[in-house]
Amino acid sequence: MSSSRRELANAIRALSMDAVQQANSGHPGAPMGMADIAQVLWADHMQHNPSNPDWANRDRFVLSNGHGSMLIYSLLHLTGYALPIEELRNFRQLHSKTPGHPEYGYAPGIETTTGPLGQGLSNAVGMAIAEKTLAAQFNQPNFDVVDHFTYCFLGDGCLMEGISHEVCSLAGTLGLGKLVAFWDDNGISIDGHVEGWFTDNTPARFEAYGWHVIADVDGHDSQAIADAIAAAKAETSKPTLICCKTIIGFGSPNKSGSHDSHGAPLGVEEIKAAREFLNWPYAPFEIPEDIYAGWDAKASGAAKEQAWNDKFTGYQQAHPALAAELTRRLAGDLPADFSEKADAFIQQSQDKAENVASRKASQNSIETFATLLPEVLGGSADLAGSNLTIWSGTKGISADDASGNYIYYGVREFGMSGIMNGIGLHGGFRPFGATFLMFMEYARNAVRMASLMGIPNIFVYTHDSIGQGEDGPTHQPIEQIANLRLTPNLATWRPCDGAETAVAWKSALERKDGPSALIFSRQGLPAQPRNAEQLANVAKGGYVLKECAGTPDVILMATGSEVGITVEAGEQLSAAGMAVRVVSMPSTSVFDKQDADYRESVLPKVVTKRVAVEAAHVDFWYKYVGLGGAVVGMSTFGESAPGAALLKYFGITTEAVVKAAKGLN
């Protein structure tokens, strides 16, 4: 006998309350409340193959309310993914595949790390943009080889976070018809009933964004849910919000509908009562065979993938060049000749020796690399003219034509960064997005999430110091560079001229295991002469730019716009009889990963007199100069004045570097 929909949904409820109870930690309420919605979606609509979680044309599923992680773990286990029951028993335990919040790369079928509320929704928007743009670039008549939906579960907390406004507004503008979001409207958050702090008219809000809104859906009525999903999929010009009225902790006789079921185990006695209420007479973590059979998606998933494979074979025959290019891009591979052509551009940049702002050098790099890599999908948070992110081949994407290579994000720094994460996770693109370095603060947590997940996105930040001038301290970064450098798995670059900028861009584009932050100046910078060995060593993050005879008396090190004045200081000190080595450190994070011998060759321990120079917070540099060294930099906020005047006022000058070096004992 086949199991009923409610019985299948109750398997999610049982596994969720059992796992949370065993861990003595977790959130049973959301999984129990959304189980009926999940059952209809995954049983009748999800296009996926548990035996191949990476199938390119699978539907994407994002649990934005990631605290309800046992919902997705239960779904993956029940439908046949390689997530055995032992992993559910080990929920929230060290090195399990079932951590407290879904973590990308831990369990198969987890599309993104969620937990910081609202960001899963932003990732889903990014995935939907990637699907629409990739389809516009590659699909041909009779060959819709890119054709899938992005589904997102979200809660009140996601909607309260400001990022939800940023990304849902843009999703409506771009007409993301294959994005379907399910709002778990249960009226409860951690502090209790949300009517005391969240009374928005959410359906009207989303209608104002240009979404298709399906309101007042009973989240425990399978037919109502099925009808809503069918209506959502039929609307192809707008994203859809399905407003599902649910009871948090559904099935718990005494704690459902209350924040008591939100973020704590139900307790042994309450779970016993819930089993009776749900007519679930099975032991903890026991799932009957007929329930497993009702959930099993391996055969149907394999058939769906095979049908797509057959279509793709026909696509390869009819459009071999497009098929090869799509295959390369989905694999994340660069063209075979990319490195050679990139190196030629780097050498050209060195030979040209232009004295330009590094933001302009960045634009030159984008012009070259975006031409070589059609997968580059650029963007800026309403600062393209200042970030210099537009190149000759730029074509913006829109609701009517998504075949372009550039996203006008508007003033949405956080949303942009979260969307980029979704695009990167989807595959087929190498996204970059730009803003002023100061406004990285708005996007900070999304940058951290990219680093945590190891997504090779590129975050471009210009106007990197007090040198930007008149906009004043609100726009002048001080502590932000150190913040980025201290982020694990983030490669942070602050190049000093065109050649270093080209190397930074190449390194970021070739990286596969994490994001890069590229930091550029507003003001013009002098080009530095280098020999072939020095140019090759730029990619190591730090190298000897100016050498002296014998062992140095002092090492001067600098990065970005301060390399020029540091070289000048070295020349003055050398003229005064000191043996001076000047080290350029475009990426301390990359330099720190070099082997010990190379790092010693650049910064030999025997040389204890060291000066670091950067128009940013001084504290970061003591790891390189030691407590006895000196740092020429900032320890206060800036001021509003022309950049040159500020650099002089705050002592970021050649004279200050010379004085610091001479003052070392």
Question: Is 544:526 a contact under the CB 8 Å cutoff?
Answer: no
Answer yes or no: is 154 a known binding residue.
no
Query: In the structure encoding, which two tokens stand for residue 540, read together?
Result: 């190591």
Answer yes or no: is 284 a known binding residue.
no
Answer yes or no: is 471 a known binding residue.
yes
Question: Is 170:411 a contact under the CB 8 Å cutoff?
Answer: no
Question: Is 228:241 a contact under the CB 8 Å cutoff?
Answer: no
DSSP per residue over 79-148, as a string? HT-S--HHHHHTTT-TT-S--SS--TTTSTT--S---STTHHHHHHHHHHHHHHHHHHHH-BTTB--S--
Answer yes or no: is 188 a known binding residue.
yes
- Which of the residues are catalytic? 413
Edge-first strand listing for the sheet containing 491-493 = 406-408, 376-380, 430-436, 458-462, 516-519, 491-493
Strands 430-436 and 406-408: unpaired
The alpha carbon of 480 is separated from its chain's Cα centroid by a whole number of angstroms, namely 18
Strands 356-357 and 524-525: antiparallel
Answer yes or no: is 157 a known binding residue.
yes
CA distance 310 to 298: 18
DSSP state letter for 531: -
Answer yes or no: is 463 a known binding residue.
yes
Answer yes or no: is 329 a known binding residue.
no
Answer yes or no: is 67 a known binding residue.
yes
Strands 580-584 and 543-546: antiparallel
Answer yes or no: is 260 a known binding residue.
no
Answer yes or no: is 285 a known binding residue.
no
In this structure, the number of other CB atoms found within 10 A of the CB of residue 606 comes to 7
Answer yes or no: is 186 a known binding residue.
yes
Answer yes or no: is 115 a known binding residue.
yes
Backbone angles phi, psi at 460, to 5 degrees: -105, 125
Answer yes or no: is 27 a known binding residue.
yes
Which single residue is written with the structure tokens 């709002």? 183
Distances (CA, A) of 176 to 125, 448, 473, 516: 8, 26, 38, 28
Binding site per annotation, positions: 27, 67, 115-117, 156-157, 186, 188, 262, 359, 386, 439, 463, 471, 475, 522
Binding site per annotation, positions for substrate: 27, 262, 359, 386, 463, 471, 475, 522
Binding site per annotation, positions for thiamine diphosphate: 67, 115-117, 157, 186, 262, 439
Binding site per annotation, positions for Mg(2+): 156, 186, 188
